[in-house]
Amino acid sequence: MSNKQVVYNVAIYLRLSKDDGDNIESESITNQRKIIKEYIDKHPEMKLYNEYVDDGYTGANFDRPGFKVMINDIENKKVNMVITKNLARLGRNYIETGTYIEKYFPDHRVRYIAILDRVDNFNDNISNDFIPIKSVFNEKHCKDTSIAVKKTKRRKMQEGYYTCNTAPFGYKKDPNNYGKLIIDEESSKTVKKIFELKEKGYTTQEIVKYLDENHYKTPAEYLNIRGLEEVKDKEIWRRSSVTKILCNKVYLGHCIRGKTQKISYKSKDRIYVKRNEFIMIPNTHEPIISEETFNNVHNTNKYGITRKHQETNYLFKDFIYCKNCGKKLILKKERAKVYVYCREHSENSKLCSNNCKINYEQIEDRIFKFIVNMYKEYFKTIKLKDNLYKKYIENIIKGQMDDLETLKVNSGKINFKIASLYNQRLSGTIHEDEYKNRYNALSEQRGNITEKISQTEKEIEDNKLNTLSQKKNILKKISKLEKDDFRNFDVKELIKRIEVLKKEVDIYFNFLEVGKIKF
């Protein structure tokens, strides 16, 4: 009796990125495609389903459109084989690449082949044993390239070369020198008008109203007209946009770069750097605004004042949202009182119509009384049901499971750092003493995380075994809380979300009905 031949529906995955230091000729999409198709032609059991291309996307992370489409097809069981030219084409992130090869693909019965590295996760061969080592070197290559690119960009910044793809609003790139800014006649008129109105004493809100009423094109709208990006609500002016223009010294003819930097070469997220660390090269292009106008705008008592921020424990700060636009509400102090308001409405009433303004302390007091009375009412009328407690425990367990997953990811990162440190020791790039110090520190971190993992797993099991009597004790404790005790209570055990619309507040509990309060 002959075995039935397995037919594989093959996904060809192709990726290229200059940011990773890829050699354009040998790693080109065309070259990758040719090698893989020649390989498929030699194996009659392989049938090409589709090819997925990410041209210009780094291998440091998996946030790539082509890769996401391929994963979706795997989830829908359209693909059961993935082929890349080599491991680096799949990814250069050691941890995530290993997770896909060793867990995700096998769990979904997907065979993965990296042709030039002779990797085949369905066959037991020695090349598979070297996957972790190759992945570490792939990631190191990506990191080294990122450092080199960063140094080159910083050098260009220091030379006054404007490295951003998009010019600041009011300027455009010089077609004869892409690193130089020249004035854009249309948008620069808007910049001049904003400074002119501010110099006359207009507030940012009044400037926004003027620009909207006179149909001035916003920066986002202008960029879209030039085909550079698509932005939601692009035709609406915002106070933050006006403030950003008023504070930008690029309009004085100075090139200011290095305001932000990436958290990591693996991440697209950026953080702001300190103002004294900006790179500012004076007189690199023609100014739109004079020094006198800029100084007049910034020398008023109402503008540019830095106030000391006093930290206060606002109990519901992270739970309050606008019911209209869904954005988190902002706390603002006015005459010794703190109010909640919608930032979108403050930016422009066209963005959100919710003009709520409620004293935060009153919200806190009313919610506290509402919660205590609600629990007391449940006990008085014997309306407390088992399913309420079940939901309560399920929410706690869900939070603990999320914490456990984060701890395991952090543990994986520590293991990767230790492996990378060991490779640096072997290659002689770090001294033995430095290796021991860093290894001991990482080992201690790993021990702490391992201990927290064990503790969290135990707490999860304990919560699963909670009895009805324990439930009543917990809820009775809540019903007897005093306000000061309540401030120290873990609010997320009770409340999922608080929504405000004008003078109405809705409280969404973890295991009680929605509470409504009117002011």
- The domain that holds 253 is classified in CATH as 3.90.1750
- For 152, list phi and psi in degrees, rounded to 5: -65, -45
371 and 447 co-located in one domain? yes
32 and 72 co-located in one domain? yes
d(CA 320, CA 507): 9
> Is 322 inside a domain boundary?
no
d(CA 209, CA 348): 8
| Domain assignment of residue 427, given as a range | 363-518
Lowest mean pLDDT across 237-246, 368-377, 410-419, 470-479: 470-479
- Classify the C-alpha dihedral 333-337-341-345 as positive or negative: negative
> Order of strands across the sheet with 495-501?
320-322, 495-501, 504-509, 515-518
d(CA 498, CA 104): 38
136 and 216 co-located in one domain? no
> Which tokens go with 232?
């939601």
Cα–chain center distance at 9: 34
> Is 469 inside a domain boundary?
yes
Give the pLDDT score at 160.
62
Q: Which residues contact 339 (CB under 8 A, 6 or more apart)?
A: 331, 332, 333, 357, 358, 359, 360
117 and 31 co-located in one domain? yes
- Binning pLDDT at 50, 70 and 90, where does residue 440 land? confident
What is the residue-wise DSSP string for 469-501? HHHHHHHHHHHT--HHHHHTS-GGGTEEEEEEE
- Domain total for the chain? 3
- Binning pLDDT at 50, 70 and 90, where does residue 2 land? very low
3-class secondary structure for 179-200?
EEEEECHHHHHHHHHHHHHHHC
Place of tokens 């309050």: 320
d(CA 76, CA 78): 6
116 and 209 co-located in one domain? no
d(CA 416, CA 429): 17
What's the whole-number average pLDDT of the chain? Answer: 77
> Is 396 inside a domain boundary?
yes
Using a 10 angstrom Cβ sphere, with 0-12 exposed, 13-18 middle and 19 or more buried, the burial of residue 94 is: buried
Give the pLDDT score at 303.
42
129 and 196 co-located in one domain? no
Closest CA to 101 of 116, 113, 89: 113
> Is 425 inside a domain boundary?
yes
34 and 73 co-located in one domain? yes
> Is 150 inside a domain boundary?
no
d(CA 254, CA 162): 10
pLDDT tens-digit profile of 96-152? Answer: 887 888 888 988 999 999 998 888 887 765 545 545 555 555 555 555 555 555 665
Where b means 16+ CB within 10 Å and e means fewer, 159-175 reads: ebbbeeeebbbbbbbee
- Binning pLDDT at 50, 70 and 90, where does residue 306 land? very low
pLDDT tens-digit profile of 102-113? Answer: 888 988 999 999
> Is 56 inside a domain boundary?
yes
188 and 274 co-located in one domain? yes
* Domain end among 251, 270, 298: 298
* Domain end among 102, 124, 143: 143
Highest-confidence segment of 276-280, 315-319, 417-421: 315-319
449 and 489 co-located in one domain? yes
293 and 367 co-located in one domain? no
- For 6, list phi and psi in degrees, rounded to 5: -75, 130
Looking at per-residue confidence, does 185 or 149 come out higher? 185
Question: CB of 357 within 8 A of CB of 337?
Answer: no
Give the pLDDT score at 96.
80
| Average pLDDT value for residue range 148-171 | 70
> Is 312 inside a domain boundary?
no
We report the CATH number of the domain holding residue 59 as 3.40.50.1390
Q: H helices within 42-75, ranges in order?
A: 65-75
129 and 183 co-located in one domain? no
Closest CA to 86 of 117, 63, 121: 117
265 and 377 co-located in one domain? no
> Is 512 inside a domain boundary?
yes
pLDDT tens-digit profile of 365-382? Answer: 888 888 777 766 655 554
Lowest mean pLDDT across 25-29, 193-197, 437-441, 495-499: 25-29
Place of tokens 């809705």: 506
* Domain end among 254, 271, 298: 298
Query: 3-class SS at 27?
Result: coil
